[in-house]
Each structure stands twice: as C-alpha cells, then as structure tokens.
Structure 1
Amino acid sequence: MATGGLSKYLFVAAIDIGTTYSGYAFASTKELKKVKDYGPTPIETIVWNSGSRSLLSSKAPTALLLKPDKTFQSFGYMAENDYSDLVSEEEDDEGHSYKDYYYFHRFKMDLHNNQSVRETSKMKDVTGKDLPTIDVFSHSIRFLKDQLYDTICTRKEIVRGELNEGDIQYVLTVPAVWDEKAKEFMQKAARNANIAEEHLMIITEPEAASLYCQHIDKDISLLNTYLMVDLGGVFDVTIIKKKSSEKQREVMEILPGTSGGNYVDHAFGQFLSDIVGTRNLDTFKDHYMEDNIDICRQFEGKKRCFAAGSKSNEKMVYISVPRALESLVKADRSLKGMDIAIKRSPYAQQISYVRHKLHIPESTFSGFFQPTIDCIITLTEKMFFGDNVIDAVVLVGGFAENTHVQTSFKEKFSRSRVFIPEEGTLAVLKGASAVIQI
C-alpha cells in the first residue's frame, strides 16, 4: 500500500496505557479529512467483555500476565481471568505454580507521576518479583498494537498482510508531567513492540483530551482558558490556554494525579474489611481470586451508574457476597457468620444481609465516593487562585461519567461553566487518534 509524506498513512491509531484501564482507537485518514468542525468523528474503538457479570467497557483493565519464562500470556480482562485460574490450581500443565508467573495489575499507578522513569527502571509484580519496567510496557503495547491491527483488517475488510506497518501512524499518550527522558522511555518501549520510530508520535494526555473536546463541542473551542479535569483511576487537572491558532491549545499548568476512581475502590475494600475482618478479607483475596475479581467487577458496575437519590426516597445498592467469603466468616469463631459480622461492624445500623446479598443504602454507598470527590474539588479550586482566569471546567475520564461526581462539580462550581463532553471516558484516545487532522 502507498507511502510517502504525512498523507501516506491510511490509518491513525492511538494507544493509551492508563492507570486503571487501557485501550486503543483508530480512524482512516481518508475519513478524517471529511470531518467537519464540531461534531461526531469517524474514530472507532472496541468493546471489551470481562467474561463475567456481563461487564462491558470501552477499555480493558491495565493488567499483564507473563509466563514463568517472561514471555507474553495475556492482557486485560483475560489476564485477570487467567491469573485467577492459576491461583485456583495447584500448578499448571508444566508444573508451575501461580507464583512462578509474572502478574502486573494497574501497574501504571506508581509511574503516573514519576517523571524519572527510565530504561533501567524496574517494577514488582503482585508477588514481589522484579522485572524491567520497559518490558512490562513493551508487552502491553505490543498486545494492543496487534489487536488494533487485527481490528482494522476485520472492520475494513483488508486482507492481513496487505496492510503494512508503514500505513499506520501510531500515537502513544503519556502523562503531562513526564519529562523528555520519560518520553524517550515510552518511545523505546514502542520500538521493542515493533513500532518504528518514524511511524510514532507521542502526545500528552491533556493535549489529546483537549483536541477531542474542542472538536466535539463548539462552546469548548471558543474558550480562552479552561481547566481540563481528567478523572480516571487517578486525577489530573491542567490549565489549557488558547494559542494564536484557533485550534491550538497550550498546557499552562499541571496539578499531577492524586485521588481518583481507584480511591473509591479502596474505600469499598475498607468497607468490606470493617465487616468481615482484615485477616478474612486477605485470605479471601489470596486464595479465592476468581471470587474476589467477581465482587470487584460487581462494584465497578455499581460505581459507574451510581446516582444518589433524595433521602426521602433512598434506594438500596445490592452486592452479592461470594460463598467463599461467607464460609471464611462463618468459620471465624469471633464472628460465626455474616449476620454477626455486620452487627459488630460500624455499619450495624445501616446495612443488612439478605439472601447472600449486602443491602447498602445509597447514603452509605455515596460515602465511598465523597472523600475522593471532596479532595478532587478542593484541589481543582486551587487552580482558580492567583493570576489564573478560568473560563470553565471540562470533565473527562471514566470517573467523570458518574452522575454523583457530575452533580458535585456542578454544585461546587455553580458560578463557572462545567462541560461534560460526550464519551469523555474516551477523550484521550479519540483526541490522540485525530491529532493529525483536528
């Protein structure tokens, strides 16, 4: 297929390794050239299926599983499921236990604000084994790149082999706080994943999100200066200022990630620990990983769609408790079952347990969110101080899709305009995919 100049590319494809979820998006350059200002884009993504609880998402968990010889096993939901199966089995067909495998879960969390990540950096898997950080990223990028290639060929009815690597412009996203050396680290990881440097672009996450938002919403494009609040697994807020060109934006100031959606997950984990006891919960996580993944995915589904109602019409949120956790609590002589465990917990007057389900009032469930939301709002407010003249607040990221989060921001920043773009959870990916054209 044809090559030559920037127009040589047939497709633009973005890969985003996120703190909690990762994914890819793509568009044909031919279709991108037809795009008009302020409207839908031809950028495509896929839907990932967890395989349980019917949990569907536009990205996959940032989870990587490597075999004992450090070769690739699986990524995303499949990595979670495969590792869960390994934990349940004494050993695999070759006599290896799960501890011989390398499992990295939400591995970008520790690197999100680390400006000094380098080729020599190392990270530990969940069992404490070291591996070069660049290998973890290279395996992940290679998987997403190969999946991306297959998806393009399938959807565009292209025979595999006829689409060359030089026909695709790859775009990788990185945190805004990463320095040039850290970006070079990502470039090397991409090269290791067989992405040639001449076909690779690096763009920061807030720049990509800004490109998407200003295209999808005319009102955002007219703003001079606004706060880009990226609410993912961690939270970043960036001041975006219009440059001389109508479609160019400049990243002026960055407040790097702190609390975000992952901290809501931690709050739920603490809630369970307060009920069943830390020792029982740790045993459950270590020995019944499939059930632990199930309850975490339950919570993820509830978290996404949660919207607190009025106190006069409060509803319940239901979480099914796996039998394995019930058995551990029942075998605990100090608790002897879930009913007594709840009565002895700080939530005795709030929650109930009926037919293997926790019945959690909305007011209690919202408590998992509130400390994180309060922290995010307090830090966002700081960006209004000093010489900053802020026209609006723009919310993107998966956590920004939660109605409770949106309501809290609109109430707190009632004197400012708060924008919540359509498909904000994909703002970084879609902006990066259209970086050449938008």
Structure 2
Amino acid sequence: MPKLAHPLTDVQPRTAKPKDKPYKLTDGGGLYLLINADGAKYWRMDYRHGSARRTLAFGKYPEVSLADARAKRMAARKLLDQGIDPGQDKKDRERLKSEAAANTFEKLAREWHTNKLASWRESTAKDTMRRLEIDIFPEIGSMPIATITPQQMIAALRKIESRGAQEVAHRIKATCARVFSYAIQSGIADRNPAADLKDVLKPAKAGHFAAITADELPAFLAAMDKNDARLFKPTRIALRLMMLLFVRTSELIETPWAEIDLANGEWIIPWQRMKRGKLTVNPDETNHHVCLSKQALALLNELHTLTGGGKYLFPNQRDHKKPMSNGAILMALKRMGYQNRMTGHGFRALAMSTIKERLGYRHEVVDRQLAHAHKDKVESAYDRAKFLAERKVMMQDWANFIDGIASGNVVAGNFGRKAA
C-alpha cells in the first residue's frame, strides 16, 4: 500500500531547514513544499492528466501560505474532475491576461483610427487623433481596454469639462464609444463604458459659429489691411477669398489648380469635394459653380504667380504635396484680434445675412451660392442652374459692396438685382 501523507502543520513549513539536497514536505493530494539547498521554499503539486504526469507551481512560501496552497490544490482538483488539465488552464489564463494587458485603449484606438482613414477627410483623421492624444490617452490610454470602468471614463471626460469644453467632452465621448465598440466587435472587450453616458455630462452649449455682423465689417477690413505684413501672402489671399466667395474652408484650402479656369474666370468644384457629395448614402452629385467676381479673379491670378507651379492653390508650407491646414485661417484671424469673434464658417454667416439685408437678394439665391442641402435633389439641381446668372451678378455686387466699405464709402440699402 502507498504510504499515506500526513497533512502539514503551520509550524512545519516555517521551521523547515535547508539540507545538502532539495527535499519535500508532503501535505497530501499531490501537494508538497519543496525546500531547496539555498533555503528557498516553493509549493508544488504533482498530478496525472491522462497518461501524463505533471507538476503545478503554486508560488513561494511564505508569500503563499499553507492555507493558500491548499486552496490552489482544491481548485486544481476540481478542474481535473472536469477533465481539464490545470497546468494548461493556468497557461491559458496567463496568456489571456497578457493579451488583455497588451490590448490597451490607445492600441485599440489607433487600430480603429487606421481602419477609418479611407472613409475620412485628412483633417477629420488628424483632429480625431489629436483630441485622443491630448485628452484621453494620458488618462486611460495605457489601461487594458477590457478593464476600463464607466467611472474611469467619466473622470476622463469631466477633466475636459472642467476647462469649459463641454462640446469637446461630448465629441470625445462619442469617439471613445466607437473605439469600445470596435474592441467588442474584435472580441477583445465585452462592454462599452462610454455608450450609455447620456446624463453624466453637462449639456453642450448650443450656438453658431462665431461671425461678425455687417456693422463690424469696416473695422474687420481695416484690421485685415493692418495685418497684411504679418501674414504669409497666400494666407492673406485666402482670407480675402473667404470673404469674397464664402465657400467652406476645406473647399477653398483643398482646391487644386486644375479646378480653376483663369482664362474664362470660372471655378467649378466637383461634387465629390462638396460636403453633401461626401455622404456615404445618397450623395448629392451636383457640381458647384462658385461664381468669381472680378476682384476674386484678380486675387487668383496673383496667387497663381506664387503657387501656380504646384498642385494646390494653398499648399502646406512644410509639405507642398499637402494643402494648407484648417488652422491657418483661424490663426490668421487670431493675429487680427478676432479669436472667438470670427471663424472660417463665419464668412458664410456674414454673407448670408448681409447680402439679404443690405443688398436685397432673395434667400434662395444666396442659399444656392452657399451650396446648402436641398430636400429634393432634382429641384436642387434645377435651382442651381436657374439661379446661376443671378448668382454671378450677386457675387459681383457683394465684392463691390466690400470694396465700398474698405474705401469708406459704406453702401446701404437694396441694390440687389436680377440678371437680365
């Protein structure tokens, strides 16, 4: 008969002394304490799985007590009763733990961001990553994504709120929710701690893009002239074209020279570059006629002498293969003293209100020039064609109106007119 092992007492592991060779103190059920010649003591468990004899390591004594070792033995025996190899189970759990630790929020966020690049504009991709790098990665970026709690997510978002950036906090929350969703779909996480945070953030302040009024135009134009020497010349021209043409900022700074017909004074933006043309569902496939005034055409001719040899009207100063940054317009406005008072989009709001109120043009005509969305696509294409002649006259009147203000001859009243 096999010799029965007597359970160990608490005193035996504590008082066991090293010998010339390693030896064991057995506790039964395969568990024993291995005492090495150097005095180090380790808990081990021998077991059989199938035809194989194997050994489990439970840790070092006294960090792992006798009671702890017995609990580990019991857990291993339960696995054996279920036909599971406890050694392999331990390896699998350690592998999953290692993978979870490697799958941090930042790692998954960058993977998600890379997957989205093909469907995003460059500026969107850059802004999204910049916000994550500034506001989120320092807070939860190094954490395994599967372990992040709603409380940790809330703490990161409220830190953004604390500086008064409610709108940014809401946008970041939505971005983080998409990253968690990506992790869930990838089998790495099983919950989305950002998805249901609807009431924990302060409401984002509703409002419009900052824009000056028509009454502020004289001072604004004077500030523009005063700061000409401080601005990079293409940036100065970009500001004036934003004023004259009131296209969207991206539509201007991302324009290739191939779209501009200087000889005939035409600029037609392909529908693929327009905001509504970039929709993934039912994009608006109507090209946009910008309608160039004489003043705008003169600026484009001047600009051509500076950048006409490259691809873009406004190349990036560091890399001419890329267009100017969106921030260049905002930085120019900041230098003029109009930070938080005027934006690139503000030129559109200024033109819409002033052309209607001071020049007397109908809303529909200005709206078509702004390339706003139309509910009926067929009617939209018809309206844009129908109003084209009137829009050409309107854009020249607008340029003349601005020139009149700049020269001190402020034009008021209704001098809008329909094209013959």
TM-score, normalization: structure 1?
A: 0.20
Which is greater in Rg? 2
More helix by share: 2
More strand by share: 1
- Name which structure has the greater RCO, CA cutoff 8 Å, separation 6+: 1
The TM-score with structure 2 as length reference comes to: 0.21
